[in-house]
Structure 1
Amino acid sequence: MTTPITVPDLSERPFSLQVEREMTLTPAALYLAWTRQFDRWFAAPGSVIMQGEVDTAFFFETVYQPDAKSKPMRHPHYGRFLRLEQDRFVELTWVTGTGGTKGTETVVTIEIQEAGDGSRIFLTHAGFPDAESRDQHEYAWPMVLEQLEQKLGKREG
Structure 2
Amino acid sequence: MHPPGAEVIRAEVDARVDGRFAVGFRKPDGQQLEIYGQYQDVVPDAKLVFTWTWRSNPEQESLVTVLLRPDGNGTLLTLTHEQFIDEEARDLHQSGWSHGLDALERYLA
TM-score past 0.5 threshold = yes
Deviations 1:34-91, CA, capped at 9 Å, x for gaps:
9xxx9xxx9715x1121111101211112221xxxxx322220110100011100000
Counterparts of 2:71 and 2:91, CA distance in 1: 28
* CA RMSD in angstroms, aligned pairs only: 2.3
8 Å CA contact 1:43–1:60 kept in 2: the answer is: no
- TM-score by length of structure 2 reads 0.83
Q: Could you tell me which amino acid in structure 2 is paired with residue 147 of structure 1?
A: A
Q: 1:112 to 1:129 in 2, by over 3 A?
A: same
Counterpart in the other structure of 2:47: 89
Counterparts of 2:35 and 2:55, CA distance in 1: 8
Instruction: Flag structure 1 segments of 5+ consecutive residues without an equivalent.
Output: 1-33, 66-70
Aligned residue among 44, 52, 60 for 2:8: 44
Counterpart in the other structure of 2:27: 64
Deviations 1:90-147, CA, capped at 9 Å, x for gaps:
000000156xxx4311100001111112111111001111111001111221111111
Alignment of 1:92-103 (within 5 A): 92-97=50-55, 102-103=57-58
Instruction: Flag structure 2 segments of 5+ consecutive residues without an equivalent.
Output: none
Q: Could you tell me which amino acid in structure 2 is paired with residue 82 of structure 1?
A: Q
Q: Kindly tell me the number of residue pairs found equivalent between the two proteins.
A: 105
Counterparts of 1:53 and 1:74, CA distance in 2: 27
Aligned residue among 87, 106, 112 for 2:68: 112
Secondary structure at 2:75's aligned position in 1?
A: strand
Counterpart in the other structure of 1:16: none
Q: Sequence identity of aligned pairs in percent?
A: 25
> Where do 4+ consecutive residues of structure 1 move more than 6 Å?
none
Higher relative contact order (CA 8 A, sep 6+): 1
